[in-house]
Every structure is written in structure tokens, then in C-alpha cells.
Amino acid sequence: MNQAVDRSARLQLEDLSHRYPRTGEPALSGLSLSVEPGELVAFLGPSGCGKTTALKVIAGLLRPTSGDVLVDGRSVLGVPPESRGMAMVLQKPLLFPHMSVEANVGFGLRMRNVSKDRIGRRVGTALRQVRMEGFADRRPNELSGGQQQRVALARALITEPRLLLLDEPLSALDANLREEMRGLVKEIQREGGYTTVFVTHDQEEAVVLADRIALLFEGGLHMYDKPRAFYDRPASRRVAGFFGATNFIRGWARNSAVETPLGHLKLARNAPPGDITLTIRPEAVRLEGGENSFPARVTEVAYLGTRVACSLDAAGVELQVALPPQARPHEGEEVTARLPAGSLWALEE
């Protein structure tokens, strides 16, 4: 483990709640989780779910109604933002327009009365980290949006934060720049070992960047796990739907088997007995015979370049299927579909 990782902190949120002062409506409700040293956690969810509120509470820009924020086991609620050892990058870079890139990046160190020589060395290092070493003398209005965001990131990194807080820093960029910046953020975070909380409403962004994802709805935590778990074993139908699941099958479970309108379906693991809902990803559905197979009719086909999207009707149950691009199903065609046991997951309601 390198020195940067050793400097990173463990973050804990304990039963964190916050209410809007004017309305009294909850913005956060009992949020509890931990972020391990050197880990990147994405706070994910739709607009208004509380993810940015949580970030502001961590940063000290908002005080929670109740609960606590701990860094390495110590509460920081009474610590001012500038003394928390954190750096924050916002959606808009908010660079000083009258300052050069070099001056913008070194601003935080100048406020701490760091020597000019040391600032110069640290600015050079930070600009190399974000691949902007040739832009030190430029002004913000001479930079593209992506370049401005790199400068904002360098300004945060130069303070050597123990916690890096990123509030949708890539959302204003176009698709190509956003993808490029994702790679840069991930590279910098891994190399520096920064404990990082990254707020986003973009599911793909969270999956690409995060070690773990905290999915929030209406201020509450609905699932906290590694990205793959949200696809393979979602905690609820709402979580599955947010991650693009479209296939939901009602049934009656007994051990590792479920009676459904599609017939008797085997599961790879036991399900809670009684009424349940099964889900399966469209890309996991197979057009073939075997265990868990049944007759179906193709109702719609769409060629999407990298895949063929196909809708099936099976005993009144609509299923979405993602097939490889060379597949050639036809509307109205009678097929045999199969739901592999290892890809079926029983949802909590």
C-alpha cells in the first residue's frame, strides 16, 4: 500500500437525517454506511433523492438534523469545512476568471501560507496528474469545459485531501469528454488512494467508477453493494427497475422452485416461501430448450447495432430479450425461451 493510501480516511455516516428548514420535509432519513480507506463510493439516485444533501453534510456545508459523520472514528460535526481534510469538486468548476490556471490550482495552498517554491512544485505535480501541464499560464475562458473541470480537480488534489468529494463533476460534459474524464478520475483515484464519494444520477457512471454504490430514493438508502450486485441480485423491484430490469414474473415459491404462469421454474438458490416476484436480465434470457424452457411468441424486434432487442409473449407474460446482433428473430415467430436458473433472482417486495 502506498503512502497516499495510508493517508486516506475511513468515513462513517451514522443514522444521518436532514430536514428542509422551510417545509420540514426529510431530505435524508437515517442514512448509515461506511466508506473504507482508499475506496470510491458512488451516491446514486434520481434528482431529489438526497445524494447531494448527504455530500454537503459530509463536507460541513450543512448540519444534519440528527445523526453523525465520523472520520477515522471521530465525529467531525463540530469541525469547520476547511479543517476536515476534505476537498470538493462541484458540477461547475467555479474557477477564478481573473487568475491563470496555475494561480487557480495553487489558491488553496496560498491561503494556508505555503511557500511559493513548494506551491510551484505542488502545482506542477497536480497539473501533471490531470494532464494539464502545458496550460499553466492560460485563463479559464481559454479552456474547454473538460479542461476547466480538470483544473478544478487539480485544485482539489493539491491540498492532499484525506477525503475527495465529487458532486456530479462530469454531468455538464458531452458524451466523449465524459467518458474520457471518467477514465482520468478513476486513474487518479486509484493511484492516489483517495477515499472518494462521487455523487451522480448516471447509472453507467456509477458502475464504471465505483467500488460500491449507495442507491438512494427519497433520502433513504435502498441498497449498498458492489456494482455487479445491482444487476445480479437487486434488493427490491424498485432497485431492479432503476438498473434497467424489465422482466418481472409473479409466482409461488417453495424452496428452490417457483410455480409461475410460464410453468415450474427452478432457481439456483432457495427463495422465501410464498408469493414472490422473479426477475431476470434481458441479456440472460435464451432462445433455446432445456431446463426452465417454455413456448413463446415474438411480438416485436428492433435491431440496435450491438444487439437485437426482442419482445416475447409467453402465457400472457411479456419478456424482454437482448440477443447478439447476428440473431434474426421475426415478429410472429413461435420460439422456445429459457430462463437459466442461475440468472433468476427472487426479489423482496
Q: Where are the domains of the chain?
A: 3-232, 246-347
Q: Output the CATH code of domain 246-347.
A: 2.40.50.140
Q: Which residue has the higher pLDDT, 197 or 121?
A: 197
Looking at residue 349, what is its pLDDT?
A: 59
Best-predicted range by mean pLDDT among 70-84, 137-151, 266-280? 70-84
pTM of the model: 0.86
Alpha-carbon gap, residue 66 to 87, rounded angstroms: 24
The letter for the amino acid at 106 is G
- The mean-pLDDT minimum among 162-176, 300-314, 319-333 falls in 162-176
Average pLDDT, the chain: 91
How high is the pLDDT of residue 3?
Answer: 41
Q: How confident is the model at residue 133 (pLDDT cuts 50, 70, 90)?
A: confident
Assigned fold of 3-232: Rossmann fold (3.40.50)
Q: For residues 341 and 278, is the Cβ–Cβ distance under 8 A?
A: no
Percent of the residues in the chain that have a pLDDT greater than 70, as a whole number = 97
Top-confidence residue, 94 or 215: 215
Stretch 161-171: mean pLDDT: 91
Least confident window among 45-49, 114-118, 136-140, 175-179: 175-179
pLDDT at 22: 76
